[in-house]
Amino acid sequence: MLAATDAAGVRIGCAPDTFLGGGHQSARRLLDDGAIGTPVGGTAFLMLAGHERWHPDPHFYHARAGGGPLFDMGPYCLIDLVQLLGPVAEVVAFGTVGHAQRVIAKGPRAGSEIAVDCTSHVAGLLRFEQGAIVQIATSFEVWAHKHTPIELYGTEGSLAVPDPNRFGGEVELCKAGGSWQAMPTTHGYADDHYRILGLVDMAVAIANARPHRASGALAFHVLEVMEALVGSNEGRGIVPIESRCARPGPMAAGLQTGEIA
């Protein structure tokens, strides 16, 4: 698809675009302003018990091809991490399955069982090109936990980033030797769901002859990272990431919802 769009002279983009939301862009600004110094590590957790609790036809979530928590929820987390830290250089991962069968809880098939054909709990390490090492876990096997969605640790402090499945959320900063403090939201698109923002940004980017942020190259890089995590769990060990993408440009601070620059 990337080759076809290049040959045709057109653009391609991809969801998710939640990283353009005010919560994540406020965190990006703090990071770019050096609030935590040089990033050296981080954590990312997207874990729950499984979508069969609410989805009436959830088998595709557990199919071998494209199923599992990593391919379902991983793009939100990984795209946010790439916009914060830049591209990933290499990964390693382990995975397991807790429940080989799932029971559908809602809809006309309620009470029937489906087989789990994919890894349902994946834990990995991402080494970013700039040097930071982030622990990631995605799971359909966790009933409860107390982890925050994303945290970044730097030489001068720590940064808590909101849920990457949402546009808004509270950003917290802890400077070296201090305590956690809620930080102001400095960007728009933090008060609702704006799941077309990436497409609008692409249209504005075309009109202004600039790169769009939710790019095909970004999506391809994240897809390769997810495939590499799965491959590592299946015996490939430490897997280098061959693709690179430009770190998406930050959204301008101070703009109101409805404005893009």
pLDDT in tens, 198-229: 999 999 999 999 999 999 999 999 999 999 99
Q: Identify which of 144, 188, 196 has the alpha carbon closest to the alpha carbon of residue 13.
A: 196
Whole-structure pTM value: 0.95
Name the helix (H) or strand (E) containing 25.
helix 22-32
Per residue in 225-242, pLDDT (tens digit) is 999 999 999 999 999 999
Per the structure, the count of domains in the chain is: 1
| DSSP line for 213-231 | SSBHHHHHHHHHHHHHHHH
The residues near 137 (Cβ < 8 Å, ≥ 6 apart) are 44, 45, 46, 47, 121, 122, 123, 124
CB atoms within 10 A of CB 228: 23
Does 9 score more than 90 pLDDT?
A: yes
The SS3 assignment for 21 reads: coil
Backbone angles phi, psi at 87, to 5 degrees: -70, 160
In a domain, 102, yes or no: yes
In a domain, 11, yes or no: no
Domain span including residue 66: 34-240
Per residue in 95-137, pLDDT (tens digit) is 999 999 999 999 999 999 999 999 999 999 999 999 999 999 9
In a domain, 178, yes or no: yes
In a domain, 201, yes or no: yes
- Report the C-alpha gap between 193 and 168 in whole angstroms: 8
Q: Where are the beta strands (DSSP E) in 75-132?
A: 88-96, 101-103, 113-115, 121-128
In a domain, 82, yes or no: yes
- Residue 65 is part of a domain; what is its CATH number? 3.30.360.10
Does 261 score more than 90 pLDDT?
A: no
In a domain, 216, yes or no: yes
Order across the sheet with 133-139: list the strands.
Answer: 181-183, 171-175, 157-161, 150-154, 39-47, 133-139, 121-128, 88-96, 239-240
Backbone angles phi, psi at 72, to 5 degrees: -75, -55
- Residue 115 one-letter amino acid: A
The mean pLDDT value for 174-196 works out to: 96
Given pLDDT bands bounded at 50, 70 and 90, which one contains residue 257? confident
Which pLDDT value is given to residue 256?
Answer: 84
Which pLDDT value is given to residue 123?
Answer: 97
Half-sphere exposure of residue 220, counting CA atoms within 13 Å on the CB side?
13
The residues near 10 (Cβ < 8 Å, ≥ 6 apart) are none
The mean pLDDT value for 74-91 works out to: 98
Enumerate the β-bridge partners of residue 126: 91, 134
In a domain, 246, yes or no: no
Which pLDDT value is given to residue 10?
Answer: 96
Per residue in 29-82, pLDDT (tens digit) is 999 999 999 999 999 999 999 999 999 999 999 998 889 999 999 999 999 999
Strand pairing category for 133-139 and 121-128: antiparallel
Which pLDDT value is given to residue 65?
Answer: 85
Per residue in 23-43, pLDDT (tens digit) is 999 999 999 999 999 999 999
Which pLDDT value is given to residue 60?
Answer: 93
Half-sphere exposure of residue 127, counting CA atoms within 13 Å on the CB side?
9
Does 255 score more than 90 pLDDT?
A: no
In a domain, 226, yes or no: yes
